[in-house]
A and B are shown apart, each in its own frame.
Chain A
Amino acid sequence: MNEPKRFSDATSDAPDELRRLFQAGVEDLPGEAELASLALRLGPVFEPPPSSRPIKLSTAGKVAAVSAVVVGSAVLFALNFGPHGQRPPDAPERWTPSETPPPPSAQALPPAASGDTAGKSGTPDTGAGAAPEPSGAASSPSPSAGAHASGAAARPAESEAELLERARAALASNPARALALTEQDRTRFPAGVLAQEREVIAIEALKRLGRSDEAARRAADFARRYPGSAYRKKLDTGRP
């Protein structure tokens, strides 16, 4: 069976108007801001699974672990095959709606960007992290400064995703602060899984600050370091 030429194909016999619409549909990808927002919400998901980290157990620990597995298996068996439970067939590659995860807000992921309103509406960043940054926003603070210099801004347990979410939220109203927060992130999380998002936010902040040469250099560096990035296409277009 031959596949028909797609409407968007320049050589298809589709009406010009239809070809134009479908070509535009193919190009209708999300913007950097949308992708970055999604990535920040997914931050913990990007972490390597705990099972990939070696775990050393003492003899006592091994006994305890085996016991836990035995007890856990018995409980699972009772739940799945007991009088009140029936285990659904396991079909790993055919995910079904019954496995729908709870709404994102109910999961152990960063909450939907509470700072979004600042980023989207232009409302000033008035949160705890709104303390003024040093004028040299792009300068890297010392490691300790990353955690303490901005006082209340650096909550002890703040995750990489939360810190970058604050940076993203500050972009519209205070790009200098957004840039400073990305530098803080670089210091605190040098091997963070959200390094791409940090760079995307920093590049956008530089553009908004009128530092277009720096933004272009950093975008070029991004392209070299992350050739397969989801952001590449948008960064390449380089809005002024």
Chain B
Amino acid sequence: MREIFDEHASYIWRTFRHLGMPEADVEDLCQEVFVVVHRKLAEFEGRSSLKTWLYGICLRVAADHRRRAHVRNERAQADPAEHLAAAGELQPDVRAETRAQLQALLATLDEDKRTVLVLYELEGLTMKEVAEAIGCPLQTAYSRLHAARERVLAALSAARERGSMP
């Protein structure tokens, strides 16, 4: 477990951020992931890579968090302003404005497209790994990626026209 933490904890944390989870909940969500990993590791059969398996657990924890927040009528997604504030408080070395701008772009995507874009563009998974982690056909993952990239490019253009992107 220690080795898995050392190798993957930072990326799991980053994934939750980019999936739009509220900054205040990210640590709890990471803990949930490792508790599940601890419980399930003995059953992991290696049909997929450990990395893909971990991202699959992340996605389900995130989805479940959204559902729980919905039931409680709470926000399940962070808004970019929160990321701006959190970055300023917790990591003064991170360019908070940049994070907020990226989150604003990602927030223009629905959950399916955002997930594919985050795993491919920011987590560096191959498209085959993305499809495995999500549990969808490879072609579907490609379609979502294509649509997500188009949407992000359009959102960037719109932001420039509004003057909200330098």
Q: Which residues of A contact B (CB under 8 A)?
A: 1, 3-4, 6-8, 14-15, 17-18, 20-22, 24-26, 28-31, 33-35, 37-39, 41-42, 45-46, 49, 92-97, 99-101, 103-104, 107, 109, 112, 193, 196, 226, 228-230, 233, 239
Given contacts A93-B47, A95-B40, contact A34 B90 (CB under 8 A): yes
A6 partner residues in chain B, CB cutoff 8 A = 120-121, 124
A4 partner residues in chain B, CB cutoff 8 A = 145, 149
A101 partner residues in chain B, CB cutoff 8 A = 32, 35-36, 39
Bound: A101/B124 CA distance, A: 28
**Contact of A18 with B153 in the complex, beta carbons under 8 Å:** yes
Given contacts A21-B102, A35-B9, contact A109 B35 (CB under 8 A): yes
B90 partner residues in chain A, CB cutoff 8 A = 31, 33-34
Q: Which residues of B contact A (CB under 8 A)?
A: 1-3, 5-7, 9-11, 13-14, 17-18, 26-28, 30-32, 34-36, 38-40, 42-45, 47-48, 53, 56-57, 60-61, 63-64, 67, 90-91, 93-95, 98-99, 101-102, 105, 120-122, 124, 126-127, 135, 138, 142, 145, 149, 152-153, 156, 160, 165-166
Given contacts A26-B122, A28-B14, contact A37 B27 (CB under 8 A): yes
15 pairs across A/B with beta carbons < 8 Å? A7-B152, A8-B121, A14-B153, A25-B121, A37-B27, A38-B13, A38-B27, A38-B34, A45-B34, A46-B1, A92-B43, A93-B56, A94-B135, A99-B36, A226-B6
Residue ID in chain B nearest A229 by CB atoms? B6
Smallest CB–CB gap between B82 and chain A, Å?
15
**Contact of A22 with B102 in the complex, beta carbons under 8 Å:** yes
Smallest CB–CB gap between B109 and chain A, Å?
13
A46 partner residues in chain B, CB cutoff 8 A = 1-2, 5
Bound: A21/B156 CA distance, A: 11
Given contacts A93-B45, A229-B6, contact A42 B122 (CB under 8 A): no
Q: Is the interface of B mostly helix, strand, loop or mixed?
A: helix
Bound: A31/B93 CA distance, A: 10
User: What would 6 more interface pairs be, CB under 8 Å, given A6-B124, A38-B27?
Assistant: A21-B98, A28-B99, A35-B13, A46-B1, A94-B135, A193-B2
B13 partner residues in chain A, CB cutoff 8 A = 29-30, 34-35, 38
B153 partner residues in chain A, CB cutoff 8 A = 14-15, 18
Given contacts A18-B156, A99-B36, contact A24 B95 (CB under 8 A): yes
Residue ID in chain A nearest B39 by CB atoms? A101
Smallest CB–CB gap between B72 and chain A, Å?
12
Cross-chain contact of B102 among A1, A24, A33 (Cβ < 8 A): A24
